[in-house]
Amino acid sequence: MLLTLTNTATAVACLCLIISVVVLRILTQALTNPLNKVPGPWYARWTNIPLKLAVVGGRRIHYVHELHEKYGPYVRISPNEIAVNDPKGFKQIHSIGSGFTKAEWYLRFVEVDRLGVFAMTDQRAHAARRKMFARPFSKTHLREHWEGTVRAKGDLALSRMQDELQTAGIVDVLKWWTLMATDVSSTLMFGDCFHTLENGEVNEYIRTLTRTLLGQGIGAELPLIRTVGKMLPLKAAKELFCNFEYLLDYGMVAVDNMKSQQGGKNIFANIMAEAEKGEKLQDADVQVEATGLLIAGTDTTAVSLTYLVWAVLSHPTVKNALEAEVNKLPQGYKDADLEPLPILNGVIEETLRLYGAAPGMLPRAVPPTGPDVGGFFLSPGTVATTQSYSLHRDPNNFPEPESFLPERWYDATSQYRLNDTAKAVFSPFGAGSRTCLGIHLAYMELRLAAAGFFRLIILTIVMDVKAVSDRFITTSSGCEGRRNEHPGFKGGNSSESGENQKTMIWISNSDRTQ
């Protein structure tokens, strides 16, 4: 009995010692951390729970933005993380050669022993991979090899919208933009079009991908849930956490088409054709990159186009000016004909500023030198993050930041015109050396799809649209619309120009990161 009591007392003493050490460590870190000088809520010194709750609730960008409004451009949001909403700090963090690297947060999305270009935190490895991709993803190369594909998918999407408008009286714009972007991305990345536009719905791969992305998002913020979820014999848990191998296996389609003798079968064939001597992508690299690039190029493009349609329809003056501009285009116009159009490109840029599909955090690990940013010393191990949502709403750079004003991008006489600082912080596709690889492809899709849409269908204002969370914006109200046929558009079978119809636009957004 005495031995048992002694053992129990020893165990309790050890437990108390461990707890004391942990508490002492927390107190020491909290009281001596250089971030204590950074403004922010009192609890950010001790815990990241409020930040995690905002993430789980789909409100991180709004939560951080509200903290910036209260505390200023530099705000502490957790024990080891600072949010920066200052042009000078933004430049210091994201400039090439700054020493700031992608934070380890990105590695939480990795479930295999291969890193895609998105998740790479090592700067040298990333630079080497990006160099291989640079030429095939350039504007010139995309126009030469893939513009026809992008144009064809866009025309088919518009044709399907027109058919739906005629038969059902409503158009699910987000649906068709999503299917268009899916078919473009699957063709370029896999060399195997999913034909979702023809089928009118996504395939099993995309459904699995959507569920897996949700599971990865949960796992990145709450790793314990992912660990437990993988062990649960529940269908829902398996769909969220155990399907990545299925997606990776499908990536072999990209590998096979890359190796085929049919030149230009997919963009990886272009990459290998352009690769310098000694450079090579392993099959596993292609599997990972094809999946990652398809993810990056689908929802983002669809969401941006949907917001663009909604924003233009909500501003009749902009709508009329845009329609007049694109209606002057010649038959058989090319993407190069669209690039100089001031109103079209102003609309695109203003949409990306206010409603960009990736407005969330860009977390960067502080370099070992422990630099000063904004007058605050950041010790190694600290994470410095920026978000375009806040940078794009700074009234010092964007007068009337919440207003949709495309003229700020092209009218030098406008009181809302951009200054150099505004141009420097405009970052809908990320920043610095980590800017999205597919930026030129995205702009091509946006230009061709938007020009085609406003040449084909004329619609009036959308009403009763409200933000629900970071992830979703919806409308259940109709808007009046009528068709406008143009001889340059091939597709659709309506000639009833002028007939009023009811049109429904569903709008969705997601808090992504770059």
pLDDT score of 17: 64
Which distant-in-sequence residues (6+ apart) come within 8 Å of 338 by Cβ? 329, 344, 345, 447, 448, 451
| CA atoms of 273 and 166, how far apart (whole Å) | 45
Say if residue 133's pLDDT is above 50. yes
Say if residue 468's pLDDT is above 50. no
Greatest Cα pair distance in the chain: 98
Say if residue 66's pLDDT is above 60. yes
Which distant-in-sequence residues (6+ apart) come within 8 Å of 328 by Cβ? none
Q: What is the band of 250 on the pLDDT scale with cuts at 50, 70, 90? A: confident
pLDDT score of 444: 98
Average pLDDT, the chain: 83
Q: What is the band of 277 on the pLDDT scale with cuts at 50, 70, 90? A: low
Task: Name the amino acid, one letter, at 380.
Answer: P
Say if residue 335's pLDDT is above 80. yes
Q: What is the band of 53 on the pLDDT scale with cuts at 50, 70, 90? A: very high
Say if residue 484's pLDDT is above 50. no
C-alpha to C-alpha distances, 49 to 54, 55, 79, nearest whole angstrom: 9, 10, 10
Structure token digits, residue 302: 């669809």
For 233-245, write each residue's pLDDT tens digit: 888 888 888 888 8
pTM to 2 decimals?
Answer: 0.85
pLDDT score of 31: 55
| CA atoms of 389 and 391, how far apart (whole Å) | 6
Q: For the chain, how big is the Rg over CA atoms in Å? A: 25
Q: 35-49, 276-290, 496-510 — which is least confidently predicted?
A: 496-510
For 150-206, write each residue's pLDDT tens digit: 999 999 999 999 998 888 878 889 999 999 999 999 999 998 899 999 999 999 999
pLDDT score of 33: 79
Please spell the DSSP secondary structure of 111-139, one letter per residue: -SS---TTT---HHHHHHHHHHHHTTTSH
Reported residue count of the chain is 514
pLDDT score of 7: 62
Q: Which domains does the chain have, with CATH numbers?
A: 107-362+402-471 (1.10.630.10)
For 337-390, write each residue's pLDDT tens digit: 999 999 999 999 999 999 999 999 999 999 998 899 999 999 998 999 999 999
Ligand-binding site membership of 436 (annotated): yes
pLDDT score of 254: 84
pLDDT score of 384: 97
Q: What percent of the chain has pLDDT over 70?
A: 82
pLDDT score of 265: 81
- Greatest mean pLDDT among 54-63, 210-219, 403-412 lies in 403-412
pLDDT score of 278: 62
Burial state string for 104-126 with b = 16 or more CB within 10 A and e = fewer than 16: ebbebbbbeebbbbbbbbebeeb
